[in-house]
Amino acid sequence: NAGVTQTPKFQVLKTGQSMTLQCAQDMNHEYMSWYRQDPGMGLRLIHYSVGAGITDQGEVPNGYNVSRSTTEDFPLRLLSAAPSQTSVYFCASSYSRSEKLFFGSGTQLSVL
Amino acid sequence: DAKTTQPPSMDCAEGRAANLPCNHSTISGNEYVYWYRQIHSQGPQYIIHGLKNNETNEMASLIITEDRKSSTLILPHATLRDTAVYYCIVRVRGGSQGNLIFGKGTKLSVKP
């Protein structure tokens, strides 16, 4: 049982490039979410999903897309990276939205 | 949405109890109080949650006042490994429908 796995751990992008941050969980959790964390700040919710085929926006969704084609995977896509998206990204999952969250180890993204 | 207020930082001597306060004066009757912590740059870790009764688990105790306007997380015998940022979160209702919204938390420093 690996829990929540995020890849890559580190990534450097140039402005305008696109990429996908991967998130997978093997706990059969229905709820998955993406947060970003900037220096000195708490975590801010980007997008979340309450089940396969269902996604919704969080606090800071602009510039990010998500999809949930399977229960296990919840990728986060940056279509055209901007320096303002430099941050640490965390994926989390739980059995349901009201249950405790399990977090991945994070992806540190730098956009130059 | 109910908000929380936490002191930005606290110190605690190793082996002593760490008492972390949280104010949530606008909490609604059916909203839970959750505590998470984040050690260095790792993903946040769930600690404990409660509605109105005091709760205890292998990590900590949660004391919620009778009027539910504040709570205290207690680490009974703090160790150096408990140095982390501790987040007190009230589960959001309404438009967010239960997503966990993180604030800036309390940075707890456990000193030898």
> Cβ–Cβ of B42/A106 closer than 8 Å?
yes
Contact B85, B10 (CB under 8 A): no
> Cβ–Cβ of B99/A45 closer than 8 Å?
yes
3-state secondary structure (DSSP) of residue A48: strand
Measure in Å the smallest separation between the Cα of B45 and chain A Cα atoms: 7
- pLDDT value for B40: 87
> Cβ–Cβ of B105/A42 closer than 8 Å?
yes
Q: What residues in chain A have per-residue pLDDT under 50?
A: none
Contacts A–B by Cβ distance under 8 A: 49
Q: DSSP secondary-structure letter at A101?
A: P
Cα–Cα distance measured from residue A61 to residue B24, given in angstroms and rounded to the nearest whole number: 27
If pLDDT is split at 50, 70 and 90, which confidence band does B104 have? Answer: confident
pLDDT score of B96 more than 50: no
Tokens matching residue A8: 């890559």
- What is the DSSP track for B15-29? TS-EEEEEE-TT--T
Cα–Cα distance measured from residue B27 to residue B70, given in angstroms and rounded to the nearest whole number: 9
What's the Cα-to-Cα distance from A106 to each of A51, A60, A64, B79, rounded to whole Å? 22, 17, 17, 25
Residue position matching structure tokens 């405790």? A100
Chain A residues closer than 8 Å to B101 by CB? 45, 59
pLDDT score of B97 more than 90: no
Q: Is B46 on the interface with A (CB under 8 A)?
A: yes
> Cβ–Cβ of A59/B45 closer than 8 Å?
no
Tokens matching residue B66: 């009778």
B91-107 average pLDDT score: 68
Contact B69, B25 (CB under 8 A): yes
Measure in Å the smallest separation between the Cα of B112 and chain A Cα atoms: 25
- B37-65 residue pLDDT tens: 999 889 999 999 988 889 999 999 999 99
Question: Which sign does the torsion angle of CA B47, B49, B54, B55 carry?
Answer: negative
If pLDDT is split at 50, 70 and 90, which confidence band does B93 have? Answer: very low
Cα–Cα distance measured from residue B109 to residue B82, given in angstroms and rounded to the nearest whole number: 8
Chain B residues closer than 8 Å to A102 by CB? 46
Q: Is B95 on the interface with A (CB under 8 A)?
A: no
Residue position matching structure tokens 């929540």? A4
B29-40 average pLDDT score: 89
